[in-house]
Amino acid sequence: MQTPYFLIDKEQIEKNLKLLRHVMDDTGCKILLAQKCFSCYALYPLIGQYLSGATASGLFEARLCHEEMQGSENHIFSPFFREDQIDEICQICDHIVFNTPAQLERFGSKAKDAGLQIGLRINPECSTQEGHAIYDPCAPGSRLGTRLGDFENAIRCNPSLLSLIDGLHFHTLCEQDSDDLKTTLDVVVAKFGKYLTSMKWINFGGGHHITREGYNIDLLEHCIIRMRDDYHLQVYLEPGEAVALNAGELHATVQEIQPQDEHGICNIILDTSAACHMPDVIEMPYTPPLQHAKPFLSDDYNGLNDKRNVYRLGGPTCLSGDIIGLYEFDHPLQEGEELVFEDMAIYSMVKTNTFNGMPLPDIYVKESPSNTTLWKSFGYEDFKHRL
């Protein structure tokens, strides 16, 4: 197996799916895979066995679900639907969620006539996350979701809009626990509760870190049961991360160890790249877990001495900032050594690119501890065809 490559752990995915299924069985909710996080469709048949279906961010993901997770519910949300795609979307999707009353006005009747369930994404204007404004759809000025004031203006102008809507959708969380869901749900009920009584379903979106150790599943189930019992709603959840959490590795090889810099730290050139293979490391930003090492905080420079195996891991691209991070290893690194980055199934393969002509990592699936199969192999043609 030549590095760099992704290794997807099917048994861990199944473990995650069993936990999600447990929540479905306890509460009667339906859980969908958010494909934008993890689209490794080799596993779609397995995912379809446990979950109710998938949700898409656009036509292409919806097609992928239609082709690879057959017989499952196919949902779609997009801030904007294209006139030239709406017919195909109506043919293959079961639920369509509009971002604004204007989109609902434009396409709602057509989708309803085609037999789809119609949703409207709301913005409850309730921020529960600090730090990452780019992951907060409730941040000031957000274009995602309809605020209560805009919703009420729209139905005042066109009361028939309300009768088109089968359900409300909110998505406001990112890697969060159920206490933040509860906070959000309280606001959704306070603001939109009077409309929920005429709805069939509510979709809690994604960002629920359900399969993370320590996540409060009881409170999640309480939130679901509340909407089920108080409003007689079918509850949907559409997590991405929770489906494939801790279920993938990215393997890379130490190509060169450079001399110490002014802080006494050696730069390591790897055959993988933050910019090309794990762009969230730079965008989010975060330092991915790495076997036999722990992230090293740069304000610890003073404590550095030759006994500490601290390295700065970087990619082979032209970008100065193509840095995965500073790590302290439990041993000195050697050229040719293989490194294993963890939790690399989510938001990684879906985001890779070939900047600098970097090859894309191959993708292997570990079916069981003794059986690993090559699923995808990439080469020069993949680079050339995209240009």
Ligand X SMILES: *Cc1c(COP(=O)(O)O)cnc(C)c1O
Q: What minimum distance in Å lies between the beta carbon of 132 and ligand X?
A: 11
Query: Which one of 87-95, 177-185, 233-241, 367-375 is the stretch in contact with ligand X (CB under 6 A)?
Result: 233-241
Q: What minimum distance in Å lies between the beta carbon of 205 and ligand X?
A: 5
| Cβ distance to ligand X smaller for residue 234 or 309 | 234
Tell me which of 7, 20, 37, 161 binds ligand X, using CB under 6 A. 37
Query: Which one of 62-70, 79-87, 201-209, 321-329 is the stretch in contact with ligand X (CB under 6 A)?
Result: 201-209
| Cβ distance to ligand X smaller for residue 38 or 296 | 38
Is 147 exposed, middle or buried (CB count within 10 Å of its CB: 0-12, 13-18, 19+)?
middle
User: What number of other Cβ atoms are within 10 A of residue 60's Cβ?
Assistant: 11
| Cβ distance to ligand X smaller for residue 65 or 268 | 65
Q: Partners of 289 in the beta sheet?
A: none
The span from the CA of 95 to the CA of 379, in Å, is: 37
Query: Which one of 11-19, 33-41, 81-89, 322-330 is the stretch in contact with ligand X (CB under 6 A)?
Result: 33-41
Q: Say whether residue 167 binds ligand X (CB under 6 A).
A: no
Site for ligand X in 70-109 (CB under 6 A): 77
Q: What minimum distance in Å lies between the beta carbon of 310 and ligand X?
A: 32
Tell me which of 10, 75, 171, 277 binds ligand X, using CB under 6 A. 171
Query: Which one of 29-37, 46-54, 189-197, 369-377 is the stretch in contact with ligand X (CB under 6 A)?
Result: 29-37
What is the CA angle 250-35-18, rounded to 5? 80
Tell me which of 7, 51, 161, 174 binds ligand X, using CB under 6 A. 174
Question: What residues contact 330, with CB distance under 8 A and at least 6 apart?
Answer: 292, 293, 309
Q: Say whether residue 166 binds ligand X (CB under 6 A).
A: no
Query: Which one of 102-110, 178-186, 239-247, 330-338 is the stretch in contact with ligand X (CB under 6 A)?
Result: 239-247
| Cβ distance to ligand X smaller for residue 121 or 277 | 121
Pairing assessment for the beta strands 293-295 and 371-376 based on DSSP bridges: unpaired
Query: Which one of 5-13, 34-42, 194-202, 318-326 is the stretch in contact with ligand X (CB under 6 A)?
Result: 34-42
Tell me which of 136, 177, 238, 362 binds ligand X, using CB under 6 A. 238
The CA–CA distances, whole Å, from 96 to 57, 81, 143, 238 equal 10, 10, 18, 14
User: What number of other Cβ atoms are within 10 A of residue 67's Cβ?
Assistant: 11
| Cβ distance to ligand X smaller for residue 244 or 326 | 244
Q: Say whether residue 58 binds ligand X (CB under 6 A).
A: no
Question: What residues contact 183, with CB distance under 8 A and at least 6 apart?
Answer: 126, 128
Query: Which one of 158-166, 184-192, 237-245, 291-299 is the stretch in contact with ligand X (CB under 6 A)?
Result: 237-245
| Cβ distance to ligand X smaller for residue 51 or 242 | 242
Q: Say whether residue 61 binds ligand X (CB under 6 A).
A: no
| Cβ distance to ligand X smaller for residue 130 or 381 | 130
| Cβ distance to ligand X smaller for residue 37 or 93 | 37
Tell me which of 34, 196, 245, 313 binds ligand X, using CB under 6 A. 34
Q: Say whether residue 220 binds ligand X (CB under 6 A).
A: no
Q: What minimum distance in Å lies between the beta carbon of 31 and ligand X?
A: 11
The span from the CA of 325 to the CA of 98, in Å, is: 39
Q: Say whether residue 207 binds ligand X (CB under 6 A).
A: yes
Site for ligand X, rule CB under 6 A: 34, 36-37, 77, 171, 174, 205-207, 238-242
